[in-house]
Structures are given as structure tokens and as C-alpha cells.
Amino acid sequence: MSARRLRAIFVKEFHHIVRDSRSLGMALAVPVMMLLLYGYALSLDVDRVSTMIYDQDGTQASRDLIDQFRGSRYFEIDGIARSYADIERAIDRNKVLMAVVIPRDYSQLLRSGHDTPVQLILDGSDSNTASIVLGYAETVVRTYSFQVRSGMQNRRGGQRPVLPVDARLRVWYNNSLESKNYVVPGLIAVILQIIGAMLTSLTIAREWEMGTMEQLLSTPMRPTEMILGKMLAYFALGLADSVLAVFVGLAVFGVPFRGNVWFLALTLCIFLVGILFWGLFVSAAARSQLQAYQLGMLSSFLPAFLLSGFIYSIENMPAVIQVISYIVPARYITTILKGIFLKGVGIEVLWGELGFLILYATVVFLLASRKVNQKLA
């Protein structure tokens, strides 16, 4: 391998990147735009749930229960129903997600000490959200029920009831329980995989279509030199995208960073190398730029979003899909980024994921070199 020829390919490809100012601007702007768009739009937090109240009792006791929902940050009362038809109409029109129905004899049953039913009606179209909202509502009702029962025993001269188990909650790594702290690190990994593969998926196919590959064939350049030279040119651009993405995550979204910045830089570099080599492999295997673009998008976008654990838990997927996810590099970089950002762990914990990224980059480099060699032959 000649350092001179490698440098010549690097300079040639780098000049091509710089001259195409529109593509360069898009390559730098798209990751930031995607991170801002998905970071704000893709929220897993369930709060300010639109709620309708159907108070058939109309007493102070029922109004106290309504105030519990009104005072919770998870619920927002958006209407008062006069019948079940009003509730059905509001849910059908997506105006409310939940309705609270207080029966007519609510205050009477409450004063007598009997079990007092309260009906919760939810829109179950989104089962995950409905389950979370149901848990919030049951907590509000259960807490209010305990307060009422405690007050009644105090008025009767009894002692305040003591719970047999005193559960004290302590949240590690994401104390505020904000979904953005979980989503943004995974989003950085997914965006870098998509952008990295797309940056290099057109390079070799473009050389064939523009007729410049014949000029390269007339030189003593080797396939490995072509692959490395092109990768290094786009590696610089990928590093700029990585810095911008991490900066936006920290400065704009306020994601905590508890890990080692040098370990973060090392893992991102290894990940970028593997993804860029994959784009070159796709470009060498394709027959045209259009086909290379389609293959690059198909092999980066869908696996990164669906099989990386970014949104969907891999443990809940079918066994076959879980096995397939092991060959998706975004799965490992997502785990690494969440560990570095939120937990502050290093290579002593994440050595397995880092080892796979190194293995992936090596294997894809060999595949890309072999494919280019076949085409040149």
C-alpha cells in the first residue's frame, strides 16, 4: 500500500466534497434537522392527558376527587359530560383519551365506609399509552382513597392507618424520568448510521457512471487504497456530523453526560469507519447511483430504526428478529451511547459492544475491498 496514492485518492475525494457546496451543506444540516425534529416530536412521555369528567353525584366529595385529577400534571380536564353519549362522542372524535365517571351514590358510599366504585373509560386504540394512563389514574384514585379512609379514622378517634410496606422509590440514571434523555442518545446513533451509509453509497457507482473509473484503472492504484482514501475523506465529514449531533443533544436537549469524552470519541470513530465501509460496499455492488441509493437507504434506515433498540425493546421481539438484530451495528452503538451519556460506564462494561464494532468494521472493509477488486478485474 502506497501512502502517496492513498493521499491522492483522499485529496481527490475531499475536493469533490468541498466543491459540491449544496451536498456538503445538506450532509451537515440533515443530521441536525433530524435530531431536532425527532428529538422534539418523538416523545415517550405521557402527560397532560385530555380527560372528560362525568359527575353524576355532584357533591363536595365528588368535586374533591375531580380536584385530584385537576391537580395532577398527568391529566388535563377538557370537558364535562352530561351522559355516556357525550363521552362516546368525544372519544370517537379524538377530543379526549380518558373519561372519569363518578356514580350517583358516590358520597353516600364514601361516608358509610363501603367500597366506592369509580369508572374509568379509556380509548384503547393505542394500547401502550392507554396502559400508562390507566396506571396514572389508578394511582390518583388509590392515593385519594387512602387519604379519605385515613381522615375518617381520625375523625372516629382511631389511629392513622400504617401501611405494612413502606416503598421508597429511587430512580437511577434518569432522575427526571424524561424520555428525551433516553431517546436522544439512541437517536444520535440511528442518524449517524443513516447519514454515514448514505455519504459513501454513491461514490464508486458515481465513478462508473461519470466515466472517471477508467482513469483510475489506468493508474497503479490498488482496491484497498481506493477504499481507504474515499473512506477517509468522508470520515472527516462524518466526524463533523458526530460533533454537531452530540452538541445538539447536550446544548439543546440538555441530555446529561456522565461518561468519558475520549471513550465516546473512540466508539463514534470506530462506528463511523464501519458504516462508511458498508456504504462503499453497497456502492461497489450496485450498478447505478439510483440502485446504490436505494440499497443504502434500505440497509441503514430500517435496521437502525427497528432493530437497534432505539424505540422498540429487542427483548420483546420474536426470537428470530432478536437473532437478526445481532448483526445490526446500531444496536451496539445505541447501547454504548446510552451507557456513556446516562450511566457513565466505560470500556470495563461496554467492551463486548466495542469489540463487535471493531469486528464489523474489519469484516465490511474486507468485503468492500473484495467487491471493488472484482469490479476492477
Whether the pTM exceeds 0.75: the reply is yes
What is the Cα–Cα distance from 257 to 215, expressed in whole angstroms?
48
For the ranges 41-45, 86-90, 204-208, the maximum mean pLDDT occurs at: 86-90
The pLDDT assigned to 268 comes to: 93
Average pLDDT, the chain: 82
Give pLDDT tens digits for 226-278.
Answer: 778 888 888 888 898 899 989 988 988 888 899 899 999 999 999 999 999 89
Which carries the bigger pLDDT value, residue 343 or residue 147?
343
Residue 161 above 80 pLDDT? no
Higher pLDDT, 293 or 77: 77
Mean per-residue pLDDT for 195-211?
A: 76
pLDDT in tens, 54-72: 988 888 888 888 898 888 8
Q: What pLDDT score does 253 carry?
A: 87
- For 346, the grid coordinates are 466505560
Distance CA 292, CA 28 (A): 21
Rounded (to 5) percent helix, strand, coil in the chain: 70, 5, 25
| pLDDT recorded at residue 263 | 94
Whether residue 18 has pLDDT greater than 60: yes
Out of 9-23, 72-86, 120-134, 219-233, the most confident range is 72-86
What torsion, rounded to 10 degrees, do the Cα atoms 207, 209, 211, 214 define? 60
pLDDT at 152: 67
Q: Can you list the domains of the chain with their CATH numbers?
A: 3-43+178-376 (no CATH), 49-155 (3.40.1710.10)
pLDDT at residue 153 tops 70? no
Residue 165 predicted with pLDDT over 80: no
* CA–CA gap between residue 230 and residue 169 (Å, rounded): 52
At residue 354, the pLDDT reads 93
